Structure 1
């Protein structure tokens, strides 16, 4: 046990553990899945125990792997701090993320990016997809991660996410009244989509809560004010999909798109990791 650990193998272990997938870890590391698997095997041979349990359907940490994970992160962070003493200039990455994409896992993802690359200054702006795309076009942002926006056909599809009509489990709709809906303020694309579908289906509706960001809309739903068109991961545990019960129109899967001018270097590495993490979060 006197030989030092291979940092590349340690990094591969951390990536697989965080993303829950050899395929996604390989994507982030810009390597093949076979190369990542080989690094993990060498690390496990070196420490003399299995760090990850693998099945055809999932990857999860073993007990030893869970105990080692935080030490592995600290090791990589120390390595980056050591390199930083040689005076490499800090780089800046400005990212805009749509309200309807930035879920509850965002803070943990950004904290992880900051810890892994202290030489990269990350700035985040949360807004509507339309506003962010305008800022991107004005070159005020390096990158935006947004929902599909009307009139735009560019961008890289990161993943697709299903939306539903959600309400509090104890909420009941009074049939004689218009459907009470909680929404984001204009120019929210999801709001426009939901309104168009309700109108096309002949469902009378009225807005009972508008604006404040997706967390505020989710809070209005849980408080029993009405229903909202949201992705399941945006809602606290306990909210229920009421589409079938109320006969509401089906909501389509909406793409999550990446628009970026970042092509290489540390910012691109961080962006690749963030994109893979979003795919994992959306797919669950």
Structure 2
């Protein structure tokens, strides 16, 4: 009787495909190629004798057998990772700064993705403005930083680009003849600088009506009807609408999100790869 065994990397590849919904993102998370991911999945499917993933040109979905195998695959990886951690001499820390304009509602899922990649890697997350985080990164207080493109910086890996718009509460109306009321974050916020520059170049009179210490505070001001804000649709408060076309405001550009990193060890690199892949999936979605 032949004993069937499962290849751990193949199981991990399956989990990445299932959870990220993409062969491309799975390859990024495992720092490999789409071809290698496909081969690992095929090896696993051949071993199990069934198809786990249904792939079309437009979607990647679990088959019925794949959905049944998913929880068992997670349990297997958790047991595998616990066994390895039991023989680890020390717990490693990875300190990551994430811009408040980047973190968004997906932050819990991003943290969960990194933890799933390596449950015994101690992840230390710091939230702040891109400018402050990059200064901390330069002072070596952070191992990595996920931030918006910042003036004067040419380093970092672009992992996504996001569209921005001018958003307000549904019932908000601009009073004719008055400067455009803007809710924003304090300097040196890059989104604030971008929005004010574009309004000035278009000759739009504006004034600050609210300055918040984070995107959540700015979003609250928008919902309260204090004015409009330059936000990514991913960061929108409930019910906010894009009033840019109605007011004839200039279009806002897509802003890059960059990963700045100095990590060299495999564990940290793999965790950051999982973070980047999960963030790309969140932006795409």
Say whether 1:100 aligns with 2:72: no
Secondary structure class of the residue paired with 1:87: coil
C-alpha distance in 1 between matches for 2:195 and 2:160: 20
**Deviation (angstroms), 1:237:** 4.7
Equivalent residue runs for 1:98-137 within 5 Å? 98-137=99-138
* Aligned partner of residue 101 in structure 1, secondary structure: helix
Q: Which residue of 1 aligns with 2:82?
A: 81
1:253 deviates by 1.1
SS of 2:257 mapped into structure 1: strand
SS, match of residue 100 in structure 1? helix
What's the offset of the Cα at 1:198? 1.2
1:264 corresponds to 2:265: yes
Q: Which has the higher contact order (CA 8 A, sep 6+)?
A: 2
**Match of residue 153 from structure 2:** 152
Match of residue 243 from structure 2? 242
The 2-side partners of 1:174 and 1:259 are apart by: 43
Structure 2: give runs of 5+ residues left out of the alignment.
Answer: none
* Structure 1 vs Structure 2 CA RMSD: 1.9
**Which whole-Å CA distance do the structure 1 matches of 2:22 and 2:34 have between them?**
10
Distance (Å, rounded) in 1 between the aligned partners of 2:71 and 2:241: 35
User: Does the 8 Å CA contact 1:89/1:119 hold for their aligned counterparts?
Assistant: no
TM-score, normalised relative to structure 2: 0.93
Q: Residue 102 of structure 2 aligns to a residue in which SS?
A: coil
- Structure 1's consecutive aligned runs of 4 or more residues displaced over 4 angstroms after TM superposition are none
Alpha-carbon spacing, 1:192–1:60, altered in 2? closer, same or farther (3 Å):
same
Does the 8 A contact of 1:77 with 1:116 survive in 2?
no
Q: 1:56 and 1:163 mapped to 2: Cα distance?
A: 28
Shift of 1:20: 1.6
1:65, distance to aligned residue in structure 2 (A):
2.7
1:193-215: CA deviations, max 9, x gaps?
11111122122222222113112
TM-score (norm 1): 0.93
Question: Could you tell me which residue of structure 1 aligns to residue 274 of structure 2?
Answer: 273
Query: What does 1:35-114 correspond to in 2, within 5 Å?
Result: 35-114=36-115
> Which residue is 2:173 aligned to?
172
Superposed displacement of residue 2, structure 1? 6.6
Q: Is the 8 A contact 1:148 1:256 kept in 2?
A: yes
Bigger shift: residues 82-91 or 118-127: 82-91
Number of aligned residue pairs: give it.
Answer: 284
CA distance in 2, matches of 1:143, 1:246: 39
Taking a change above 3 Å as real, the CA distance of residues 172 and 48 of structure 1, as seen in their structure-2 partners, is farther
Contact 1:99-1:213 within 8 A present in 2 as well: yes
